[in-house]
Amino acid sequence: MAFGQKRMFDKPLVALLHFAVYGGFVIINIEILEIILDGIFGTHRLFAPTLGSFYSFVINFFEILAFLVLASCVIFLLRRNLVKVPRLNRQELSGGWPRKDANYILVFEIVLMSLFLIMNASDKALQLKSYGHYADVQTDFLVSGIITPLFENFSTTTLVGIERSAWWLHIAGIFVFLNYLPYSKHLHIVLAFPNTYFARLKPQGKMVNMPEIQKEVLYAMQPETVPAEAAAEGPKRFGAKDVTDLSWKSLLDA
């Protein structure tokens, strides 16, 4: 989606960061499916036995994306609040709700990605201690493995508490985030895919001949041709006068 917008290429670095945030966040949340199913069935890493060694590749791919999302969001926060990029500090964006909304979204994503990595790091520490069902799935985490030593000196009880807390906070955070989006200008995170799928492929200015409009133009130029019943009805409405006149696709575009 991000690469499909030509304007993004005016600033390649910003384009890459946006792609990392958007693409990474969406793809990583596929992991939420496993988290939910683990909660429902009382399992731990449900997909690991089925995927085998490929599971490690998938999780590490998610971890790399999580790190990219986290790093990109930190950079965006700094650009918006400390560096004071002129484009982001215009009057209509620098104060009030737009600024707060952007910061809320960035902080949300930083927290969610941090919880994901903390969950995996504490999980790995429990694997190393061969504790309970954690030892059944041995996975080398590429990113969270770097911070795993920070957790190795904790007791197993503390580690389980950290891992479970991160698990619950991550899934709860996703639901809070999804409930917040409709109030945010970032609702396009959810609507971008259906909006693009249902996009009109014909040129924007292309129109088909509409007999109703053709008749109205004819009647305006040659009033004598107006039938009596048409004159009694009065002029018809065309286009959109109010939001209720818009199609569902137009509302999706908005």
* Residue 203 counted as domain residue: no
What is the C-alpha separation between 205 and 209, in angstroms, rounded? 13
List the domain range (segments joined by +) for residue 246.
Answer: 211-253
* Residue 1 counted as domain residue: no
Do 245 and 161 fall within a single domain? no
Q: How many CA atoms lie within 13 A of 230 on its CB side?
A: 13
Do 24 and 63 fall within a single domain? yes
Do 125 and 241 fall within a single domain? no
Would you give the DSSP letter of residue 199? Answer: -
Alpha-helix residue ranges (DSSP H) falling in 181-223: 188-197, 211-221
* Residue 206 counted as domain residue: no
Do 153 and 248 fall within a single domain? no
* Residue 205 counted as domain residue: no
Do 234 and 165 fall within a single domain? no
What is the C-alpha separation between 61 and 27, in angstroms, rounded? 10
**Residues 2 and 22: beta-carbon distance below 8 Å:** yes
Residue 115 pLDDT grade (very low, low, confident, very high; cuts 50, 70, 90): very high
Do 140 and 59 fall within a single domain? yes
Do 28 and 89 fall within a single domain? yes
Q: How many domains does the chain have?
A: 2
Q: What is the per-residue pLDDT across 200-237, written as a single tens digit (0 to 9) for each? A: 777 777 777 777 777 777 777 877 777 766 555 656 66
Q: What is the per-residue pLDDT across 30-66, written as a single tens digit (0 to 9) for each? A: 788 888 898 889 888 889 988 888 999 999 999 998 9
- Whole-model pTM over 0.85: no
Asked whether the predicted pLDDT for residue 143 surpasses 80, the reply is yes
